Amino acid sequence: MHPSDIKQKVVLLRKSGKTYGEIKRMIGADISKSTLSLWCRDIPLSRAERQSIQKAMISGSKRGRTRALVARAQQRTAYLHSIRERVRHLGRTIKNMDTAKIALSMLYLGEGSKWRSHRGLMLGSSDPDIILLYINLIGQCYGITRERLRCRISYRADQDINDLQKFWSKITCIPLASFYKTKPDPRTIGRETKRIDYKGVCVVSCGGTDVQLELEAIARVILRGR
């Protein structure tokens, strides 16, 4: 198509209320938006045509954002999958008892109650994965079954304790009868919980001072190298 014919078609499409993006797609020519703007700068547009162009631009912008979000989500999914594949072999090493005890010791060092403040095993977290990992590891390393475990939920004043206990009971497979009754944090009275996915802090406890001390000893041995 001759350049003058392209320009004429661009002008006609612009007069009909098309955006520059739409014009480029419809004529199938690689023309910069600055050139299109130059060609169309003297075209008088009615109010309805300007509104039509603005509406189309807003709609196109929304579609562009949606495509960008989808693309980023796909990239993130692929990225996380590559990481999981990179470390998948480590899942087999946890079957070794020494490795499992080291993992449990590190977990307890970060999240568990220490001997000076509490006698026996106690670990709390709002993250279900941390709670499940802890329960699985104490079972694997020390034969502590779910029947020996007790739970309590630390929660906010605007939350329903019964719903929270049901949630954590389902997650942990610990029966509701093993959950202690608790009261909400008084500091949260009158304050709305903004995180809709927040299910309180699940605190798992049981007897086992000897295990507690052993886990602390493992951490010290690793720290000192002997």
Tokens 């809709």 correspond to 196
For residue 119, the one-letter residue type is: R
Polymer length in residues for the chain: 226
Write the pLDDT tens digit of every residue in 50-97.
677 777 777 767 777 778 888 888 888 898 989 989 988 888 888 899
Average pLDDT over the chain reads 87
Q: What 3-state DSSP class applies to 118?
A: coil
In tens, the pLDDT along 132-148 reads 999 999 999 999 999 99
Per-residue confidence (pLDDT) for residue 49, from 0 to 100: 67
Q: How far is residue 124's CA from residue 200's CA, in Å, rounded to a whole number?
A: 10
Report yes or no: 3 and 39 within 8 Å, Cβ to Cβ.
no
Pairing of strands 201-206, 150-154: antiparallel
pLDDT digits 0-9 by tens, 6-17: 777 777 777 777
Do 11 and 40 contact (CB within 8 A), yes or no?
yes
Gap between the Cα atoms of 126 and 107, Å rounded: 14
Q: Which residues contact 44 (CB under 8 A, 6 or more apart)?
A: none
